[in-house]
């Protein structure tokens, strides 16, 4: 995905909204998995599996593995169970999650950005303790807090009748590559970090709004009334139209950088 597998949001996440851009959201999972060095892991856990799109990618590569998907969103898990009824899925909170036994591969597609800065890699290292030597922890997160889509989200939140309600909304910055390396290298034989920018061709500026409504915009919209939500989205769209020029065919390119980390257990 995925979705947040950390503390549960006030309202459940929408699998339908998330899957409006299924192909675009799944490509980073494919790119992350392509760099995982394991050939035949026995146990694979998809942390924050969302509606099962990343789990399906894992199943294609490791059809014989014991593959489990977990997520904090009941709606996401319901969708995942329908998509892959022969696989195991469970509603879990990443902050309190403990695997049942040794795990060869922990895989996380767009989850850890939702956790607090101080707890992210504490959780990663705690889970890595359950892995055998040579086990892999692979994660990918959006690296887009300084992209116009998210800068303008914060600007809109600060400038409107909803400003007081949204005063403390937002997610923590993610660790830098060097910080990640320094945190994981003591428990890893190898730490690979890379960054990729995707350029998603979307139908129009409204499509950008629809994209972020499934993820980054959720914490801003959840506390608002229907009337406030309508006003917020109207103001946000105006800002997006100024920031993202239309292409020659009338579409809009949405740059979307992502950070990838693959750690191999000592």
On the CB side of 124, CA atoms within 13 Å amount to 30
Tell me, yes or no, whether 235 lies in a domain: yes
Split into its structural domains, the chain has a count of 1
Dihedrals phi, psi of 55, to nearest 5 degrees: -65, -40
Q: 174: which DSSP letter?
A: P
Which residues make Cβ contacts (< 8 Å) with residue 195, sequence separation at least 6?
143, 177, 257, 258, 259, 260
pLDDT of residue 12: 57
Whole-angstrom distance, CA of residue 205 vs CA of residue 243: 10
Do 218 and 153 touch, CB atoms closer than 8 A? Answer: no
Which residues make Cβ contacts (< 8 Å) with residue 121, sequence separation at least 6?
175, 180, 183, 184
What are 196's strand-pairing partners? Answer: 258
Q: What is the pLDDT of residues 35-56, one digit of tens each?
A: 999 999 999 999 999 999 999 9
Residue 54, SS3 per DSSP:
helix
**Pick from 13-17, 158-162, 181-185, 250-254: least confident:** 13-17
Q: CATH no. for residue 109?
A: 3.40.50.150
Whole-angstrom distance, CA of residue 144 vs CA of residue 205: 17
Tell me, yes or no, whether 156 lies in a domain: yes
Q: What is the pLDDT of residues 54-69, one digit of tens each?
A: 999 999 999 999 999 9
Whole-angstrom distance, CA of residue 183 vs CA of residue 125: 9
What is the span of the domain harbouring residue 174? Answer: 15-265
Residue 4 has pLDDT above 60, yes or no: no
Q: What is the pLDDT of residues 71-89, one digit of tens each?
A: 999 989 999 999 999 999 9
Tell me, yes or no, whether 6 lies in a domain: no
Tell me, yes or no, whether 176 lies in a domain: yes
pLDDT of residue 24: 84
Cα 195 to chain centroid distance, Å, stands at 15
Tell me, yes or no, whether 5 lies in a domain: no
pLDDT of residue 60: 96
Tell me, yes or no, whether 1 lies in a domain: no
Tell me, yes or no, whether 258 lies in a domain: yes
Do 67 and 55 touch, CB atoms closer than 8 A? Answer: yes
Tell me, yes or no, whether 164 lies in a domain: yes
């Amino acid at each position: 995905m995925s979705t947040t597998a950390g503390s549960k949001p006030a309202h459940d996440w929408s699998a339908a909204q998330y899957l409006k851009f299924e192909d675009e959201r799944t490509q980073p999972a494919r790119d992350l998995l392509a760099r995982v060095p394991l050939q035949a892991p026995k146990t694979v856990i998809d942390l924050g599996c969302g509606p099962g799109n990343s789990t399906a990618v894992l199943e294609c590569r490791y059809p014989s593995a014991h593959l489990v998907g977990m997520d904090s969103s009941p709606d996401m898990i319901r969708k995942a169970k329908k998509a892959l009824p022969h696989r195991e899925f469970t509603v879990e909170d990443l902050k309190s999650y403990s695997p049942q036994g040794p795990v060869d591969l922990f895989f996380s597609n767009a989850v850890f950005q939702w956790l607090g800065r101080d707890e992210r890699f504490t959780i990663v290292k705690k889970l890595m303790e359950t892995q055998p030597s040579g086990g892999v922890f692979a994660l990918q997160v959006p690296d887009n807090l300084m992209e116009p889509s998210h800068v303008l989200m914060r600007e809109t939140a600060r400038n409107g009748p909803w400003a007081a309600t949204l005063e403390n909304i937002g997610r923590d910055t993610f660790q830098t590559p060097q910080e990640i390396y320094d945190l994981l290298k003591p428990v890893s034989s190898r730490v690979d970090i890379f960054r990729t920018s995707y350029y998603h061709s979307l139908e129009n500026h409204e499509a950008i709004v629809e994209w972020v409504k499934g993820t980054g915009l959720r914490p801003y919209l959840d506390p608002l009334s229907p009337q406030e939500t309508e006003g917020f989205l109207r103001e946000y769209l105006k800002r997006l139209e100024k920031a993202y020029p239309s292409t020659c065919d009338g579409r809009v390119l949405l740059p979307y950088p992502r950070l990838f980390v693959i750690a191999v257990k000592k």
